[in-house]
Protein backbone atom coordinates (compact mmCIF):
# COMPACT_ATOMS: atom_id res chain seq x y z
CA UNK A 1 0.00 0.00 0.00
CA UNK A 2 1.34 3.41 -0.94
CA UNK A 3 0.83 6.37 1.36
CA UNK A 4 1.54 9.97 0.40
CA UNK A 5 1.39 12.34 3.37
CA UNK A 6 0.87 16.09 2.96
CA UNK A 7 3.15 17.93 5.38
CA UNK A 8 3.64 21.60 6.18
CA UNK A 9 6.41 23.69 7.67
CA UNK A 10 4.98 25.87 10.45
CA UNK A 11 6.27 28.18 13.18
CA UNK A 12 7.31 26.49 16.41
CA UNK A 13 4.44 27.27 18.78
CA UNK A 14 6.92 27.28 21.66
CA UNK A 15 9.01 30.03 20.07
CA UNK A 16 8.55 33.64 21.22
CA UNK A 17 5.69 35.34 19.35
CA UNK A 18 4.87 39.03 19.54
CA UNK A 19 2.20 41.22 17.98
CA UNK A 20 3.36 44.65 16.81
CA UNK A 21 1.00 47.10 15.12
CA UNK A 22 -1.39 44.30 14.18
CA UNK A 23 1.40 42.22 12.60
CA UNK A 24 2.68 38.88 13.83
CA UNK A 25 6.38 38.83 14.70
CA UNK A 26 8.01 35.46 15.27
CA UNK A 27 11.38 33.75 15.19
CA UNK A 28 11.62 32.66 11.54
CA UNK A 29 14.56 30.39 12.37
CA UNK A 30 12.30 28.15 14.44
CA UNK A 31 10.18 26.42 11.81
CA UNK A 32 9.10 22.83 12.41
CA UNK A 33 7.09 19.95 10.98
CA UNK A 34 3.41 20.47 11.79
CA UNK A 35 2.58 18.19 14.74
CA UNK A 36 -0.62 16.82 13.17
CA UNK A 37 1.27 15.94 9.98
CA UNK A 38 3.97 14.20 12.03
CA UNK A 39 1.28 11.93 13.47
CA UNK A 40 0.03 11.15 9.97
CA UNK A 41 3.59 10.25 8.88
CA UNK A 42 4.08 8.06 11.94
CA UNK A 43 0.83 6.15 11.40
CA UNK A 44 1.65 5.54 7.74
CA UNK A 45 5.12 4.27 8.68
CA UNK A 46 3.66 1.87 11.26
CA UNK A 47 1.18 0.45 8.73
CA UNK A 48 3.86 0.13 6.05
CA UNK A 49 6.10 -1.72 8.51
CA UNK A 50 3.27 -4.09 9.47
CA UNK A 51 1.78 -4.79 6.05
CA UNK A 52 4.42 -3.71 3.54
CA UNK A 53 4.28 -0.66 1.36
CA UNK A 54 5.91 2.72 1.01
CA UNK A 55 5.50 6.16 2.52
CA UNK A 56 6.19 9.40 0.66
CA UNK A 57 5.63 13.01 1.67
CA UNK A 58 4.73 16.19 -0.22
CA UNK A 59 5.15 19.80 0.89
CA UNK A 60 4.24 23.18 -0.60
CA UNK A 61 6.67 25.89 0.42
CA UNK A 62 9.94 27.75 -0.09
CA UNK A 63 13.31 26.12 -0.69
CA UNK A 64 14.11 26.30 3.03
CA UNK A 65 11.15 24.01 3.72
CA UNK A 66 13.17 21.09 2.36
CA UNK A 67 14.55 20.87 5.91
CA UNK A 68 11.09 19.77 7.01
CA UNK A 69 10.91 17.20 4.21
CA UNK A 70 14.23 15.80 5.43
CA UNK A 71 12.75 15.48 8.93
CA UNK A 72 9.99 13.23 7.57
CA UNK A 73 12.56 11.25 5.55
CA UNK A 74 14.64 10.83 8.70
CA UNK A 75 11.58 9.39 10.43
CA UNK A 76 11.44 6.72 7.71
CA UNK A 77 9.59 8.05 4.65
CA UNK A 78 11.25 6.86 1.44
CA UNK A 79 10.78 9.87 -0.86
CA UNK A 80 9.89 13.53 -0.73
CA UNK A 81 8.09 15.82 -3.16
CA UNK A 82 8.66 19.57 -2.94
CA UNK A 83 6.24 21.93 -4.68
CA UNK A 84 8.33 25.09 -4.83
CA UNK A 85 6.34 28.18 -3.84
CA UNK A 86 8.74 30.71 -2.34
CA UNK A 87 6.05 32.98 -0.93
CA UNK A 88 3.07 31.24 0.66
CA UNK A 89 1.97 34.38 2.50
CA UNK A 90 -1.76 34.88 2.11
CA UNK A 91 -2.50 31.43 0.70
CA UNK A 92 -5.54 29.93 2.41
CA UNK A 93 -6.72 26.32 2.73
CA UNK A 94 -8.44 26.42 -0.65
CA UNK A 95 -5.23 27.61 -2.33
CA UNK A 96 -3.13 24.85 -0.77
CA UNK A 97 -5.81 22.28 -1.66
CA UNK A 98 -5.83 23.46 -5.27
CA UNK A 99 -2.04 23.20 -5.55
CA UNK A 100 -1.84 19.78 -3.89
CA UNK A 101 -4.72 18.40 -5.96
CA UNK A 102 -2.87 19.32 -9.16
CA UNK A 103 0.11 17.34 -7.85
CA UNK A 104 -1.94 14.27 -6.92
CA UNK A 105 -3.61 14.07 -10.32
CA UNK A 106 -0.28 12.82 -11.69
CA UNK A 107 0.55 10.46 -8.80
CA UNK A 108 -0.36 6.89 -7.95
CA UNK A 109 -1.38 6.25 -4.33
CA UNK A 110 -3.63 4.21 -2.10
CA UNK A 111 -3.98 6.64 0.80
CA UNK A 112 -3.44 10.37 1.05
CA UNK A 113 -2.82 11.42 4.63
CA UNK A 114 -2.88 14.90 6.11
CA UNK A 115 -2.92 16.37 9.58
CA UNK A 116 -6.44 17.32 10.61
CA UNK A 117 -5.23 20.93 10.80
CA UNK A 118 -2.03 22.97 10.81
CA UNK A 119 -0.85 24.49 14.04
CA UNK A 120 -0.33 27.93 12.50
CA UNK A 121 -3.90 28.59 11.28
CA UNK A 122 -5.91 25.69 12.83
CA UNK A 123 -8.46 25.96 10.02
CA UNK A 124 -8.64 22.20 9.34
CA UNK A 125 -10.10 22.58 5.85
CA UNK A 126 -7.45 21.56 3.32
CA UNK A 127 -7.84 17.78 3.67
CA UNK A 128 -11.56 17.74 2.89
CA UNK A 129 -11.03 20.16 0.00
CA UNK A 130 -8.36 17.90 -1.55
CA UNK A 131 -10.75 14.94 -1.28
CA UNK A 132 -13.45 16.98 -3.01
CA UNK A 133 -11.09 18.03 -5.82
CA UNK A 134 -10.05 14.42 -6.43
CA UNK A 135 -13.49 12.90 -5.77
CA UNK A 136 -12.09 10.60 -3.06
CA UNK A 137 -13.84 9.01 -0.07
CA UNK A 138 -12.39 10.42 3.12
CA UNK A 139 -12.62 10.47 6.89
CA UNK A 140 -11.59 13.30 9.20
CA UNK A 141 -10.03 13.46 12.67
CA UNK A 142 -8.73 9.89 12.65
CA UNK A 143 -7.26 8.58 15.89
CA UNK A 144 -6.40 5.11 14.59
CA UNK A 145 -5.91 3.25 11.28
CA UNK A 146 -5.94 -0.43 10.34
CA UNK A 147 -5.57 -2.26 7.04
CA UNK A 148 -7.85 -5.20 6.29
CA UNK A 149 -7.86 -7.79 3.54
CA UNK A 150 -8.61 -6.31 0.14
CA UNK A 151 -6.68 -3.11 0.90
CA UNK A 152 -9.56 -1.67 2.90
CA UNK A 153 -8.68 1.02 5.40
CA UNK A 154 -10.46 0.93 8.75
CA UNK A 155 -10.51 4.38 10.32
CA UNK A 156 -11.24 5.03 13.97
CA UNK A 157 -12.29 8.67 14.14
CA UNK A 158 -13.19 10.92 17.02
CA UNK A 159 -16.68 12.32 16.58
CA UNK A 160 -18.53 14.91 18.63
CA UNK A 161 -20.22 12.35 20.88
CA UNK A 162 -17.88 9.37 20.68
CA UNK A 163 -15.66 7.33 18.40
CA UNK A 164 -16.75 5.92 15.04
CA UNK A 165 -15.34 3.09 12.93
CA UNK A 166 -15.42 3.75 9.18
CA UNK A 167 -14.39 1.40 6.37
CA UNK A 168 -12.88 3.20 3.38
CA UNK A 169 -12.05 1.69 0.00
CA UNK A 170 -8.78 2.76 -1.56
CA UNK A 171 -7.75 5.17 -2.93
CA UNK A 172 -8.94 7.45 -0.14
CA UNK A 173 -7.92 10.38 2.05
CA UNK A 174 -7.66 10.58 5.84
CA UNK A 175 -6.98 13.57 8.08
CA UNK A 176 -5.18 12.59 11.27
CA UNK A 177 -5.38 13.85 14.84
CA UNK A 178 -2.25 14.36 16.90
CA UNK A 179 -3.94 12.14 19.51
CA UNK A 180 -3.32 9.20 17.17
CA UNK A 181 0.21 8.35 18.31
CA UNK A 182 3.55 9.70 19.49
CA UNK A 183 5.69 10.37 16.40
CA UNK A 184 9.11 8.76 16.55
CA UNK A 185 12.22 10.86 17.05
CA UNK A 186 14.57 10.32 14.10
CA UNK A 187 17.64 8.27 14.98
CA UNK A 188 21.15 9.28 13.92
CA UNK A 189 21.04 6.47 11.36
CA UNK A 190 17.74 7.81 10.01
CA UNK A 191 19.10 11.36 9.82
CA UNK A 192 22.16 10.22 7.88
CA UNK A 193 20.05 8.04 5.56
CA UNK A 194 17.66 10.93 4.84
CA UNK A 195 20.46 12.84 3.10
CA UNK A 196 20.55 10.22 0.33
CA UNK A 197 16.80 9.83 -0.14
CA UNK A 198 15.30 11.45 -3.25
CA UNK A 199 13.41 14.74 -3.09
CA UNK A 200 11.74 15.75 -6.34
CA UNK A 201 11.04 19.44 -6.88
CA UNK A 202 8.11 20.71 -8.96
CA UNK A 203 7.35 24.23 -10.07
CA UNK A 204 3.82 25.54 -10.41
CA UNK A 205 4.23 25.66 -14.19
CA UNK A 206 5.19 21.98 -14.35
CA UNK A 207 2.02 21.08 -12.45
CA UNK A 208 -0.10 23.32 -14.67
CA UNK A 209 -0.86 25.73 -11.83
CA UNK A 210 -1.37 29.43 -12.45
CA UNK A 211 -0.14 30.81 -9.13
CA UNK A 212 -1.35 34.32 -9.84
CA UNK A 213 -4.84 32.99 -10.48
CA UNK A 214 -4.66 30.94 -7.27
CA UNK A 215 -3.62 34.03 -5.31
CA UNK A 216 -6.36 36.16 -6.83
CA UNK A 217 -8.98 33.57 -5.89
CA UNK A 218 -8.05 33.55 -2.20
CA UNK A 219 -11.16 34.42 -0.20
CA UNK A 220 -9.85 34.09 3.34
CA UNK A 221 -7.66 37.00 4.36
CA UNK A 222 -6.00 37.89 7.65
CA UNK A 223 -6.71 41.53 8.45
CA UNK A 224 -4.65 41.72 11.62
CA UNK A 225 -3.69 40.19 14.93
CA UNK A 226 -4.59 41.20 18.47
CA UNK A 227 -3.37 40.05 21.85
CA UNK A 228 -5.81 38.06 23.94
CA UNK A 229 -7.75 40.39 26.27
CA UNK A 230 -6.52 40.28 29.83
CA UNK A 231 -8.70 38.41 32.28
CA UNK A 232 -9.81 39.82 35.59
CA UNK A 233 -7.79 38.36 38.46
CA UNK A 234 -9.40 35.56 40.41
CA UNK A 235 -10.84 36.05 43.88
CA UNK A 236 -9.63 34.15 46.91
CA UNK A 237 -12.39 33.37 49.36
CA UNK A 238 -11.56 32.95 53.01
CA UNK A 239 -13.54 31.92 56.07
CA UNK A 240 -15.16 28.81 57.46
CA UNK A 241 -17.04 26.34 55.29
CA UNK A 242 -20.44 27.99 55.78
CA UNK A 243 -19.07 31.44 54.89
CA UNK A 244 -17.28 30.11 51.85
CA UNK A 245 -20.44 28.47 50.52
CA UNK A 246 -22.54 31.61 51.08
CA UNK A 247 -19.96 33.88 49.43
CA UNK A 248 -19.53 31.53 46.51
CA UNK A 249 -23.29 31.23 45.94
CA UNK A 250 -23.62 35.01 46.07
CA UNK A 251 -20.90 35.48 43.47
CA UNK A 252 -22.34 32.83 41.16
CA UNK A 253 -25.88 34.25 41.40
CA UNK A 254 -25.29 38.00 41.46
CA UNK A 255 -21.97 38.54 39.63
CA UNK A 256 -21.41 35.62 37.31
CA UNK A 257 -25.21 35.10 36.95
CA UNK A 258 -24.80 31.44 36.15
CA UNK A 259 -27.28 30.19 38.74
pLDDT for residue 78: 97
How much is the pLDDT for 43?
A: 97
Q: Report DSSP state, residue 104.
A: H
- Give the residue ranges of DSSP H helices in the chain: 35-51, 66-75, 93-104, 126-134, 188-194, 211-216, 241-250
Per-residue confidence (pLDDT) for residue 26, from 0 to 100:
67
- Compute φ and ψ for 230, nearest 5 degrees: -70, 145
Q: For 109-167, what is each residue's pLDDT tens digit?
A: 999 999 999 988 888 999 999 999 999 999 999 999 999 887 899 999 998 888 999 99
Contacts of 176 (CB under 8 A, 6+ apart): 36, 37, 39, 40, 43, 113, 114, 115, 116, 141, 142, 145
Q: Which residues pair with 6 in a beta bridge?
A: 58
The whole-angstrom separation of Cα 50 and Cα 209 is 37
Strand boundaries in 152-251, DSSP class E: 152-158, 163-168, 172-176, 199-202
Q: Is 168 left (phi over 0), alpha (psi -120 to 50) or beta?
A: beta
CA distance 76 to 18: 35
Give the pLDDT score at 28: 61
Contact 72, 9 (CB under 8 A): no
Q: Cβ(70)–Cβ(194) under 8 Å?
A: yes
Whole-number pLDDT of residue 70: 96
Q: Which residues of the chain have pLDDT under 70?
A: 26-28
For the chain, domains (ranges, CATH) are 2-216 (3.40.50.620)
pLDDT score of 239: 85
Amino acid sequence: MKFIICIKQVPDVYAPIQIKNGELSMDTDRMVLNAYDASAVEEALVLAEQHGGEVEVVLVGPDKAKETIRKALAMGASKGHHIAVEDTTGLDSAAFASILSAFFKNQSFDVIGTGKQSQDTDSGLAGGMIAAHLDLPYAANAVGLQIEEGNKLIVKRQGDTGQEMIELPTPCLVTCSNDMNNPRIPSLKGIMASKNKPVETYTADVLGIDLERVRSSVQTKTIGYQNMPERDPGQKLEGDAEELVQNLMNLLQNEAKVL
